[in-house]
Amino acid sequence: MSLFHVKPFRNGTSAQLLVYLLCCTNPGSLSSHNVVRMSHIGRWQCMFRCGRKSLRWVPVLMLVLMSGFVSAAPRGQATDHSNVIVVAGDHNYPPYEFINEDGEPDGYNTELTRAIAQVMGIKVEIRLGSWSEMRDALEAGEVGVLQGMSYSAERAEHYLFSPPHALIHQSIFARKGAEEIDDLSELRGKEVIVQNEGIMHDLLLRSNVGATLITVDTHADALRLLASGKHDYALVANLPGLYLGRELSLLNLVPIGKPYATQRYGYAVVKGDEELLAQFSEGLAILKNTGRQQAIYDKWFGPLENSGFPWKEVGKVAAVLSALLTLVLGAIMVWNRMLTREVGRRTEELQLQQQKLIQADKMTSLGILVSGVAHEINNPCSLLMMNLSVLRGLLQDSEEVYETYYREHGEFELGRLPYSRMKEEIPRMLEDMDDGAQRIRRIVDDLRDFARQGVVELNERVDLNEVLATAIRLTDSSLREATDRFKVDYQQPMPPVKGSLQKLEQVVINLLINACQALPDRERGISVETRVDPQGKRVQLVVEDQGCGIERENLAQLSDPFFTTKRELGGMGLGLAVSYGIVREHGGTLEYESEPGQGTRAILSIPVCSDTGQA
C-alpha cells in the first residue's frame, strides 16, 4: 500500500512533477520507509511512501496531482484553502510593531494592517519574528507581505513598495560623553551596532565607510549592548530608539548629531506580487481619506509628542531623599538641587529631540502631500497650454478670412465686441493666458523641488539669486497679503556658493515669512537684496522689514529652540533654530539688527565657493 501527501511549493511545472510520480510507481524503486522531497520542480512539494505494488496507484496519483493544481495556494497564503494572507513584521520594533505582554502582535503597523483587512474584506495572519528571518520568509514565499519596510533604491530592485504610511528618521545613539558624529564618514574605525539586514545595515555595507559592524536581531538588543559599555555607537531609528531607551531605563544613552535622511516606510512585497500589493495600497488610501489612518497614527505616536514632565520618577527620588533627610539633611539638600537641575536638563533634551523628530515627520508628510497636489495641478495646466497653442494656430489661419469680410462688409461683432477691437485684444488675451499657465507650472515645479525627499548633500553649486527668486515665488501669496511695498534687488553677477539649494530655500522662505508676520499693516514695506562683500569672499542676502521690531533682550534668544513671541499664533519656535543650524552647516552666519518700532534687518552671509573649476 502506498501513502502520499502533497503540499504547496514554489516555481515549477506540472510536467516535471508528473514524470517524477510515474518514476515513483516503479516497483522496488522506493522502500516503504523512503521519504522523497522535491524542492525545485514546481509549485508542489511531494512526500511519498511507496510499496511494492505502487503501479496500481498511478490513477490515484494522477487524480491527486490534478486536484492539487487546482487548490494550490498563491504565494504568501496559508495552505488550508482559506485565502488567508500572511503578513510579517519585526517582533521588537516598538511602537511600530512588537509582541505585547499577552504574547500578541501589537503596534501601529499591526493595527493598520488589521484595519486594511477590514475595509478590503480580506483575511490576514500576522506573524512577527526577527527581522532577518521575516525578510528570508518573504523571499522564500512563506509570507506574502512585510507590513513595514524602509524604502531604498537598492531594495526597490527586489521589492515593490506601497505608498508610505509613516516616515522613519535614523539617529546615532552613544553613551553620554561620547564624541559626536555629524556624518557617516566619521564612523571609520569605530564599532557600530546595527540591526541585521536593516536599512542602516544595508546603507553602511553599500557606503563602505570603514566601520566595524556588529549585527543584532533587534533595536532593543543594540541599545542594551551599547548601554553595557560595549562598542562605540548604535545606529537605529529615532522613535524606536527613544521609546526603548525610556522603557528600558537606559539613562546613559543619548542620540547625538542630527537625524539622518528620512526613509519612506510602508508595505513591501517581492516583485511579481503587484496584485497583492495593490490590495494593501488601496486599503491604505481608503484609511487615509477617511481619517482612520491618522487616528491610528495619533494613538501610537501622540503620547510621544505630548509627553510631559516625568513626575513618577521624580516622586521616587523624592521618597528616597525624604527617608535619608533625618541623617544627612545638609547633604540631601545639595543632592536635591543637583538632581533637580539634571532632571530638568534631561527633560529639556528629550523634549527637544522628540519635538524635532515629530516636526520633521509632519513636514515630510506635508511634502508628500504637496508633491501629489503638484502632479494633479500639472495635468490641467499642460492641457491648457496645449489648447492655447491650437487656438493661436486657429486665429492665424482664420485672420485672413476675417480681414476679407471686414473690408467687404465693414464692421461686425465677434464675441459681442467690434471686430476692429477684438483683432487687437485676442492675441493679447491668448498671451496673458499662456503667461498665467507658465507661471502656474513654475510655482508647481518650485513646490515639488522644495518638497522632494532623499539624502541632502552640501555639494551643489548654488546661485543665491536663484534661491531668492524661488523663495519669492513660493511666498508670493503671503507677500501680497502682508504689504503693498515689496522691493527686491539682485546683484549681477553673483558668485556661487557650495551647499544645498533646498536647505537654503528653506532659510530664505523662513526669513520672508517672518518679515511678513512682523508688519502691522500693508503700508509698511519689505526690501530684499543680494550683494557681495567688499573682499569678494562672501555673498550676502539682506531682508529688511518696517515691522514692530524685536526687543533687545530677545535678540540673543532668536536661535534658541522653542523660543517664540508668536506662540498664540501657533508658532513653535523651531523655524529660526533650524535656519541657524542650516546656515552653520554652510559655514555662514545669520545676524539680526533691530530696534523696537523701527523694523528688523536679517543678514545672511555665506562663503563663496572656492572650487570655481567644477560645475
* pLDDT exceeds cutoff 80 at 599: yes
CA distance 397 to 383: 21
Question: Residue 304's pLDDT is what?
Answer: 61
- For residue 493, what are the β-bridge partners? none
**pLDDT at residue 301 is higher than 70:** yes
Q: Per the structure block, which three cell numbers stand in for 488?
A: 527686491
pLDDT at 11: 39
Lowest-confidence pick of 31-40, 71-80, 133-142, 487-496: 31-40
Residue 295, pLDDT above cutoff 70: yes
For residue 49, what are the β-bridge partners?
A: 3
Averaging pLDDT over each range in 19-23, 69-73, 76-80, 295-299, which range is the top one? 295-299
Nearest Cα neighbor of 131 from 146, 117, 113 is 146
Asked if residue 403 has pLDDT above 90, the reply is no
CA dihedral of 45, 51, 54, 59, whole degrees rounded to 10: -50
**pLDDT, position 35:** 32
Q: What is the pLDDT of residue 181?
A: 84
Helix axes 419-451, 464-474, angle to 10 degrees: 110
Q: Of 503 and 213, which is predicted with more confidence?
A: 213
Q: What percent of the chain has pLDDT over 90?
A: 32
Question: Counting Cβ atoms within 10 Å, is residue 583 exposed (0-12), middle (13-18) or buried (19+)?
Answer: buried
pLDDT, position 451: 59
* Number of CB atoms found within 10 A of residue 10's CB: 15
Dihedrals phi, psi of 545, to nearest 5 degrees: -120, 160
Confidence of residue 20 (pLDDT cuts 50, 70, 90): very low
The x, y and z cell numbers of residue 283, run together, are 486599503
* CB-count burial class (<10 Å; 0-12, 13-18, 19+) for 339: middle
The domain limits of the chain are 3-71, 369-451, 460-607
Helix runs in 80-218, H state only: 108-120, 131-140, 199-207
Largest distance between two CA atoms of the chain: 117
Tens of pLDDT, residue by residue over 438-454, are 777 767 776 666 655 55
* More reliable by pLDDT, 62 or 115: 115
Cβ-based neighbour number of residue 510 at 10 Å: 20
Average pLDDT, the chain: 78
pTM exceeds 0.85 for this model: no
| Contact of 46 with 21, CB cutoff 8 Å | yes
Measured torsion, CA atoms of residues 20, 23, 28, 29, in degrees rounded to the nearest 10: -50
Cα atoms found within 13 Å of the Cα of residue 261, Cβ hemisphere only: 16
Chain segment 548-574, per-residue pLDDT in tens: 888 877 776 676 655 565 545 544 445
Domain 460-607 has CATH 3.30.565.10: yes
Would you call 133 exposed, middle or buried from its count of C-beta atoms within 10 A (0-12, 13-18, 19+)? Answer: middle
Dist CA 113 CA 133 (whole Å):
20
What is the pLDDT, as a whole number, of residue 175?
93
The answer to whether 266 and 167 have CB atoms below 8 angstroms apart is no
Reply yes or no on whether the pLDDT at 275 is more than 80.
Answer: yes
**pLDDT exceeds 70 at position 493:** yes
Per-residue pLDDT tens digits for 174-218: 999 888 888 888 888 999 999 998 888 888 888 888 899 999 999
* Residues sharing a CB contact under 8 Å with residue 31, sequence separation 6 or more, in sequence order: 50
- Cα–Cα distance measured from residue 285 to residue 265, given in angstroms and rounded to the nearest whole number: 15
Q: Which three cell numbers stand for residue 113?
A: 494592517
- Nearest Cα residue to 149 out of 32, 242, 280, 254: 280
The tens digit of pLDDT for each residue in 73-87 reads: 456 665 444 689 999
Residue 478 has what pLDDT?
87
> Which three three-digit cell numbers place residue 164?
508610505
Peptide bond preceding 534: is omega within 30 degrees of 0, i.e. cis?
Answer: no
Q: Is 147 left (phi over 0), alpha (psi -120 to 50) or beta?
A: alpha
| Cell, residue 165 | 504610511
Ramachandran angles phi, psi of 12, nearest 5°: -160, -175
pLDDT score of 374: 67
Least confident of 33-37, 176-180, 221-225, 418-422: 33-37
Which three cell numbers mark 460?
A: 551643489
Say yes or no to pLDDT of 59 above 70. no
